[in-house]
């Protein structure tokens, strides 16, 4: 297992290097000038070429691209991740401050997706084409179709105008004040979780329907095992493998979706920081956050692969 894990991580490295090169190049090729955000429109217009060259040099943007890339890698190796162009803050501090909240939103959303998706999927599969199945499927399609940021805005507006409620304005960590922290995380997590839950429900339904038709399930029923046990003990564990795979892939959607949903809820997580950095053309922040998202996505997929061995004894990781 350890060997397998190491191999996966080593094979993952070229992927991460690829991601880093792509985002590094894209951020430098895209039109737009970081000095506009730095000096404001009025100040930017008064920059003379000499000032401009000097400031670009101070920011390290005048160096040849390979040199800039090496500097970035050194920053990553040192753990500081470099400094924001604009305020001079370390990117590592930003990640440590906001990362926990975004991670919490991600984990909560996966939890919600399973809590919602699995029961709906199982109910649909056990009673196919019943009223419950039809309602479950319709709701799933609805949540698949609704964009998360739009649903988020509706929730914010509804809670504001009906209950005069607005979530806290600043990051509060779980260990500082769990109740306030939950108020921040629960909205985005629910919206993201419902969207994913729809996928989980549909996948659970189709996998379970297939497994329920297998011989060993018929045998279990013939032996007089209670229907609930047939589903939970015999059918579900075998139907869950594809569902877990989908959850791993959906984690990528959570990471991507959290950018828009955090914005919609006004939650100051990493997604909001990424949007701000993009607007400001804060290259250092953007490239580090995108790479971080890449690392997380890769690790989640490794964890998903490892979980196969736990769920299916036929699979061995060597």
Could you write out the three-class secondary structure of the chain? CHHHHHHHHHHHHHHHHHHHHHHHHHHHHCCCCHHHHHHHHHHHHCCCHHHHHHHHHHCCCCCCHHHHHHHHHHHHHHCCCCECCCCCCEHHHHHHHHHHHHHHHHHHHHHHHHHHHHHHHHHHHHCCCCHHHHHHHHHHHHHHHCCHHHHHHHHHHHHHHHHCCCCCCCCCCCCCCHHHHHHHHHHHHHHHHHHHHHHHHHHHHHHHHHHHCCHHHHHHHHCCCCHHHHHHHHHHHHHHHHHHHHHHHHHHHHHHHHHHHHHHHCCCCHHHHHHHHHHHCCHHHHHHHHHHHHHHHHHHHHHHHHHHHHHCCCCCCC
What are the backbone dihedrals phi and psi of residue 165, each rounded to the nearest 5 degrees, phi first? -110, 135
Q: Which of 44, 69, 253, 308 binds other proteins (CB under 8 A)?
A: 44
Using left for φ > 0, alpha for ψ between -120 and 50, and beta otherwise, residue 166 falls in beta
Which residues partner with 83 through β-bridges? 90
Output the smallest distance, CB 48 to other proteins, in A.
8
Q: Does 308 bind other proteins (CB under 8 A)?
A: no
**Cβ proximity to other proteins, 167 vs 240, nearer residue:** 167
Output the smallest distance, CB 287 to other proteins, in A.
16
Q: Which of 23, 171, 211, 259 binds other proteins (CB under 8 A)?
A: 171
Residues 240-279 that bind other proteins (CB under 8 A): 266, 268, 272-273, 276, 279
Q: Which of 23, 24, 34, 122 binds other proteins (CB under 8 A)?
A: 34
Residues 174-233 that bind other proteins (CB under 8 A): none
41-49, 74-82, 248-256, 288-296 -> range binding other proteins (CB under 8 A): 41-49
Q: Does 170 bind other proteins (CB under 8 A)?
A: yes
Output the smallest distance, CB 199 to other proteins, in A.
29
Q: Which of 75, 104, 262, 280 binds other proteins (CB under 8 A)?
A: 280
Q: Does 60 bind other proteins (CB under 8 A)?
A: no
**Cβ proximity to other proteins, 103 vs 132, nearer residue:** 103
Q: Does 281 bind other proteins (CB under 8 A)?
A: yes
- The rounded distance, in Å, linking the Cα atoms of 50 and 66 is 24
How many residues touch other proteins (CB under 8 A)? 47
Q: Which of 39, 69, 253, 308 binds other proteins (CB under 8 A)?
A: 39
**Cβ proximity to other proteins, 88 vs 224, nearer residue:** 88
35-43, 103-111, 226-234, 289-297 -> range binding other proteins (CB under 8 A): 35-43
- Give the binding site for other proteins (CB under 8 A): 31-34, 36-47, 50-51, 54-55, 58, 86-89, 94, 97, 153, 156-157, 160-161, 164-166, 168-171, 266, 268, 272-273, 276, 279-281
């Amino acid at each position: 297992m350890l060997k397998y894990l190491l191999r996966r991580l080593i094979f993952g490295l070229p992927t991460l290097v690829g991601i880093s090169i792509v985002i590094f190049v894209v951020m430098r090729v895209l039109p737009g000038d970081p000095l506009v955000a730095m000096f404001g429109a009025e100040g930017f217009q008064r920059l003379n070429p000499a000032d401009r060259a000097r400031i670009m040099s101070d920011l390290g943007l005048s160096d040849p691209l390979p040199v800039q890339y090496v500097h970035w890698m050194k920053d990553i190796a040192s753990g500081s991740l470099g400094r924001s162009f604009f305020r001079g803050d370390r990117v590592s501090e930003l990640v440590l401050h906001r990362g926990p909240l975004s991670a919490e939103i991600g984990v909560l959303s996966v939890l919600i997706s399973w809590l919602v998706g699995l029961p709906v999927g199982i109910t649909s599969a056990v009673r196919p084409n019943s009223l419950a199945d039809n309602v479950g499927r319709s709701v799933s399609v609805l949540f698949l179709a609704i964009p998360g940021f739009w649903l988020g805005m509706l929730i914010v507006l509804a809670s504001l105008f009906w209950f005069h409620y607005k979530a806290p304005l600043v990051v509060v960590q779980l260990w500082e004040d769990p109740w306030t922290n939950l108020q921040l995380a629960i909205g985005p997590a629910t919206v993201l979780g419902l969207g994913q839950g729809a996928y989980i429900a549909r996948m659970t339904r189709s996998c379970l329907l297939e497994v329920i038709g297998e011989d060993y399930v018929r045998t279990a029923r013939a032996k007089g095992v209670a229907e609930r046990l047939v589903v939970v003990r015999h059918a579900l564990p075998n139907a869950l493998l594809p569902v877990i795979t989908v959850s791993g892939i959906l984690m990528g959607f959570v990471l991507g979706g959290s950018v828009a949903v955090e914005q919609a809820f006004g939650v100051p997580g990493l997604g909001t920081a990424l949007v701000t950095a993009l607007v400001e053309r804060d290259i250092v922040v953007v490239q580090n956050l995108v790479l971080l998202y890449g690392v997380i996505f890769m690790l989640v997929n490794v964890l998903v692969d490892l979980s196969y061995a736990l769920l299916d004894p036929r699979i061995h990781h060597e």
